[in-house]
Structure 1
Amino acid sequence: MKKLLLFLFTAGIMSVSQAQIQAPQPSPFTKIEQKVGLTDVTLEYSRPGMRDREVFGNLVPYGEVWRTGANENTKITFSDDITIDGKELKKGTYAIYTIPGEKEWEVIFYKDAQNWGNPAEWDEEKIALKATANTMELPFEMETFTILIDDLQNNSASLNFIWDTTVASLTFNVPTEAKAMASIEKVMNGPGAADYFAAASYYHDEKKDLDKAYEWIKKSVEMGNDAYWVLRRKSLIEADMGKIDEAIATAKKSLAAAEKDGNQDYIKMNKDSLKEWGAEQ
C-alpha cells in the first residue's frame, strides 16, 4: 500500500511538472507570406508594444544595432535573388537588424538568422547587404511594432517598419521581368491557348509590344479560349491599338458571355468600356 501511495504521489508530481500554462505572449509572433511579382517573400517576427514607453531614442536607442522586433531574430526569406539600391541580395533567409536614426535607418541583412536578439559576437563577414531606409513621421501612434510588405508592384515592393509615430521604408526589386520573359520564351516553343493568353496579358500590362500581344490574344481565342475574361482582355488590347470598332465588337461578346454566367464585375467593366468607346448599347 505504501509503495502504491508513493507511486501515485510521484506520478502526481510528474504530471504537474509536465503541465504547461498557456498565457499570451507580451510580443506576439507573426508570419507573413507575400508574393511580389513572381517571387515569394516570407517575413517572421515578434511584435513588442509601446506600453506607455518612449520608443525611439530611449527604449530603442538611436545609432545602435536593434534586433528589429523582439525575441528570436526577425527573419525574411526571398525565393529569388533580389536587388536593393542596385546591390544584389542572394535568395535565402536573413535576419533583419536595423540601426535607427532620427532621419534615416540603416537596414542590415545578416546571414545568421538563428540568434535570440543580437548575436553574442557581431561578425561583419555575415552581413549580406546594408541599405538605407528613409523615415517619415506618422500623424498617429502605432502601438504595436509592425512590418508591412507594401506598395506591391510587378517588379518591386517596400518593407515598412512602423512603430510609435515613425515609419522607415525600404524598396526592394524582384526579377519578375527576367523570369516572365524566360518563361514566355520557353513556353512559346509549344504554347497552348492559356499560354498565349498569359503572354498577351503580360505584354499588355507592361506596355511592351501591343502588336505581339494582339497576335497572341487572337491565337488564344482562335484555339477556343473565348471566355469572357479573355475576350475582355482582347477588347482592351484592340482599344489601345486604336481598333475601336473591333474593341466594341469583342466587348459585346464578352458582355454577353458575362451576362450568361452572371458575373457582375465583368458585366460592369464591359458596359463601362462600351460607353467610353461610344458604342450603342
Structure 2
Amino acid sequence: MKKLFITAAFVLGFMVNSSAQIVTPQASPKAVIEQKVGLTDVKVEYSRPSSKGRSVYGELVPFGRMWRTGANANTIISFSEDVMIGVKKLPAGHYALYTQPKADSWDVIFYADTNNWGLPEKYDDKKEVVRTTVKPEFLGRNVETFTIGINNLDNDYGFIEIAWEKTMIAVKFEVPTKAMALKSIETVMAGPSTNDLFAAAQYFYQSNADQSKALAWMNQAIAKFPNSADVPFYFLRQKSLIQAKMGDRKGAVETAKLSLAASEKANNADYVKMNKDSIQEWSKK
C-alpha cells in the first residue's frame, strides 16, 4: 500500500511539472505607446532590440535595404483620423512601418498589409500607401535599445521619432484638429452650454483664431449665470486673456480683478498669482 502511494505521488508530481511552462525574457521585448495628438489617437506597437555591442547601421541594418524597423512581427502604427505626411494623405487606419536606411537619407514607408513577420515574403508596391524621405540626425549620445516615440507635440502636428545607436529620424505628421474642433463647435453652437462656450472660446484663444468670436462666446457663457458672483474664476481669467490679446488692456485688468476676487474666495493660489501677475503686467503703460 505504501509503495502504491509513493508511485501515485510520483506520477502526480510528474504531471504537474510537465504542464509547467518555462518563462524567460524576450530578446526584443514588445512595447506599446499611445498618444493623443490634438484630437487624433496615435498608437504604435513594436518590438525593441538592443545593440549589445554590435554596430547597427551599415552592418546589423545594412544601408539601402528595406528594414522591418524593429524586430519580430510588424511594427504597426495606427491613426484614428486621416493625417498628412508632407503633401500626402494617409487615411485613418493601421499600417506596417517599414524603412530603408541610407547614410544620408531614409525612406519611411506606411504599408497597408500588417500581417507579416518582419518584411512581406512578396513585397507589393501597390500596398505602399505613403512613402516619404527624411534626413537622419546624429545624436551626441548612444541609444542602446531601439526606440520609437511620438514627440514634439502641437495641436496640429506631431513627430514620429525613431532612434537607435547614435541616429534618429523624425517624420512630421499633421492632424485635422482645426477641422474637427470647428465642426464640433458648429454642432453645439445651436444650443451650447456654458462649458461648450468656454471650451470654444479657449480653443480659439489658444489657436490664435478669431478673438472677437472667442470674446463673444465668453460673454455668452458668463451671461448664462443668473448671479455674477457665481461666475467661475477661470471663466473670468479666460475672458481677461482674450481681452489682453485683442489689445484691450484696460478691460483685461478689470476682468482680471474680478477673477482675482473670485479665486481668492475659492482659495486657489495658482489663479491668485496668475491674476496678480497679469494685472501688474497689463497696468504698465
TM-score range, shorter chain: over 0.9
Cα distance 1:4–1:124, how it changes in 2: closer, same or farther (>3 A)? farther
1:249-268 paired onto structure 2 within 5 Å: 249-268=254-273
User: Mind listing any 5+ residue stretches in structure 2 that lack a counterpart?
Assistant: none
Which range is displaced more, 269-278 or 150-159? Answer: 269-278
SS at match of 1:161: strand
2:143 aligns with 142
Cα offsets for 1:129-155 (capped at 9, x unmatched): 111122110111111111110111111
CA contact (8 A) 1:28 1:48 kept: yes
Which range is displaced more, 143-152 or 258-267? Answer: 258-267
Identity %: 48
1:64 aligns with 65
Q: In 2, Cα distance between the equivalents of 1:64 and 1:13?
A: 50
Residue type of the partner of 2:270? Answer: D
Cα distance 1:252–1:21, how it changes in 2: closer, same or farther (>3 A)? farther
TM-score in terms of structure 2 length = 0.92
| CA apart distance, 1:221 | 1.0
SS at match of 1:215: helix
Q: In 1, Cα distance between the equivalents of 2:59 and 2:134?
A: 20
1:154 aligns with 155
Q: What is the RMSD computed on CA atoms of the aligned residues?
A: 1.8
2:173 aligns with 172
Which range is displaced more, 54-63 or 101-110? Answer: 101-110
2:82 aligns with 81
Residue type of the partner of 1:252? Answer: K
1:231 aligns with 236
Residue type of the partner of 1:103? Answer: D
Q: Are 1:269 and 2:274 an aligned pair?
A: yes
Cα offsets for 1:157-214 (capped at 9, x unmatched): 0001011110101000111111111111111111111111111111112222111111
Cα distance 1:88–1:14, how it changes in 2: closer, same or farther (>3 A)? farther
CA contact (8 A) 2:233 2:262 kept: yes
CA contact (8 A) 2:95 2:112 kept: yes
SS at match of 1:246: helix
1:24-173 paired onto structure 2 within 5 Å: 24-173=25-174
User: Mind listing any 5+ residue stretches in structure 1 that lack a counterpart?
Assistant: none
Cα offsets for 1:20-43 (capped at 9, x unmatched): 233322222111110001000011
Residue type of the partner of 1:42? Answer: K
Residue type of the partner of 2:154? Answer: Q
Which range is displaced more, 103-112 or 2-11? Answer: 2-11
TM-score in terms of structure 1 length = 0.93
Q: In 1, Cα distance between the equivalents of 2:28 and 2:13?
A: 33
Cα distance 1:128–1:220, how it changes in 2: closer, same or farther (>3 A)? same
CA contact (8 A) 1:85 1:172 kept: yes
| CA apart distance, 1:232 | 1.1
Residue type of the partner of 2:236? Answer: L
SS at match of 1:200: helix
CA contact (8 A) 2:42 2:79 kept: yes
